[in-house]
Amino acid sequence: MSTTNFSAIADQVKLDILSKTHALENAAKRKEIARNFVSDTITVPTEEMYAYATLATLGDDVYFEPSTAALESHVAQLTGKEAGLFVPSGTASNQIALRTHLKQPPYSVLCDHRSHIHKYEAGGAAFHSGAAVIAVVPSNNHHLTLQDVKDNVILTGNIHFAPTEVVALENTLNGTIIPQDEIVAISEYAHSVGLKTHLDGARIWHVAAETSTPLKELCDPFDSVSLCFSKGLGAPVGSCLVGTKEFIAKARWFRKLFGGGMRQTGILAASAAYALSHNFPQLPRVHALTKRLEAGLEEIGAKILSRAETCMVRLFRLALCDASLNARQIFYDPSTIGVTYDEIAERGEALPESLVLGGSRLVVHIQTSDAAVDDFLATVRQLAKEKKAAGFVKPEGQVNGAVKDVYVRRGKKLAQ
């Protein structure tokens, strides 16, 4: 065993992550975020948010953390539930909720086939809860209906099947809103046959802002709801799971078991509180900006295949490149007929102040600048003009190119 003096070890251990130019780098990053249409996960804490966050209490949340407890009880009250639990991520929130609802396999969870719980949580329902997932394709291509649920739910005692125990909805889903009367009908039916209902409300804030519906009303039909602070609301970390006192007490246990019991979370809870007070009120501007983006694309001649209901314009493409949408959200690659998403993205990237684009999905967030939307529209307009000048003619109802997943551009999987 070699020995040395302690200060030599301290020298090895120490780390200064601040570069000489960190202030400039952060300023550049904020500028880039204002021009990034890939996802709302990239929103960043403002200096004001962090200044507020440093004032939070200093408890240990595995025992009791006052600022975190205040956030949990506020969100519980806001959503009309008895109790809340601050968790590190939306995935943790959904998975802890499922694990808490599901007690004795075999069983299944019914959800939309596009839902985060099914597609983007690494198969967590199977891993954590041993649950089969019934991933339903909505018959109307927009949202699950009562009939879809009735047609797919498993209620039989036949031992060949895994009986459904939870119906999990997502609102918004890819930026679209489920009509509340449909949610109420699904929930009443689910409860009438003894099922639990969970809402992945990562972006439920957008529904409240867009439809002026109180969060309590949106959450009333559900036994449990997960709400994210780190997406559209721009907090750095965290989600809140809400439900009955008994449910949350058990969920707290699973949070610890899964390794999600955190310590001095006051700074995170305060960031989330700041986001509720200062960023939620910005959502109407975000939605208006999204609609302006959509209208601009239409005016240029792009075809909108999925309307911007909240903060996402989905599956736009130049109308000169004919397109179609099916329920799996696949689309036809327009490269064989002249215009590609890559071309638009590359042109955007080449601007004096780059735009960051992720293919067919455009996400507008609280930190998107009006100028970014203007520059994006100007880029698409210019490209369309060039194609036309080069003799490009809209093909008649023909289908071109290869089928791609909407999230893939240049072979890269993009952030959710």
Ligand X SMILES: *Cc1c(COP(=O)(O)O)cnc(C)c1O
Please give the residue ranges that form the binding site for ligand X (CB under 6 A): 89-91, 94, 116, 170, 200, 202, 228, 230-231, 416
Provide the token pair at 48.
Answer: 């004001």
**Which of 96, 337 has the CB closer to ligand X?**
96
**Which of 91, 368 has the CB closer to ligand X?**
91
Q: Are 270 and 59 in contact (CB under 8 A)?
A: no
Q: Which residue is nearest to ligand X (CB)?
A: 90
**Which of 116, 317 has the CB closer to ligand X?**
116
Name the minimum Å distance from CB 237 to ligand X.
8
Name the minimum Å distance from CB 284 to ligand X.
20
Name the minimum Å distance from CB 89 to ligand X.
3
Provide the token pair at 388.
Answer: 């036309």
Residue 173 has phi, psi (to 5 degrees) of -115, 115
Name the minimum Å distance from CB 342 to ligand X.
25
DSSP string, 329-376: -EEE-GGGGT--HHHHHHHHHHSSS--B-BTTBEE--TT--HHHHHHH
**Which of 112, 223 has the CB closer to ligand X?**
112
3-state secondary structure at position 348: helix
To the nearest 10°, the Cα dihedral for 33, 34, 38, 40? 80
Q: Using N-to-C axis directions, what is the helix angle for 283-300 and 204-211, rounded to 10°?
A: 80
Name the minimum Å distance from CB 64 to ligand X.
24
**Which of 61, 375 has the CB closer to ligand X?**
61
Name the minimum Å distance from CB 71 to ligand X.
16
Name the minimum Å distance from CB 40 to ligand X.
9
Other CB atoms within 10 A of residue 103 CB = 10
**Measured between alpha carbons, how far is 232 from 246 in angstroms, rounded to an integer?**
29
Say whether the peptide bond before residue 172 is cis (omega within 30 degrees of 0).
yes
3-state secondary structure at position 36: strand
**Measured between alpha carbons, how far is 396 from 315 in angstroms, rounded to an integer?**
20
**Which of 231, 317 has the CB closer to ligand X?**
231
**Which of 206, 387 has the CB closer to ligand X?**
206
Q: Using N-to-C axis directions, what is the helix angle for 370-389 and 341-350, rounded to 10°?
A: 120
Name the minimum Å distance from CB 226 to ligand X.
7
Give the Cα-Cα-Cα angle 82, 85, 86 (nearest 5 degrees).
145
**Measured between alpha carbons, how far is 369 from 34 in angstroms, rounded to an integer?**
5
**Which of 122, 193 has the CB closer to ligand X?**
122
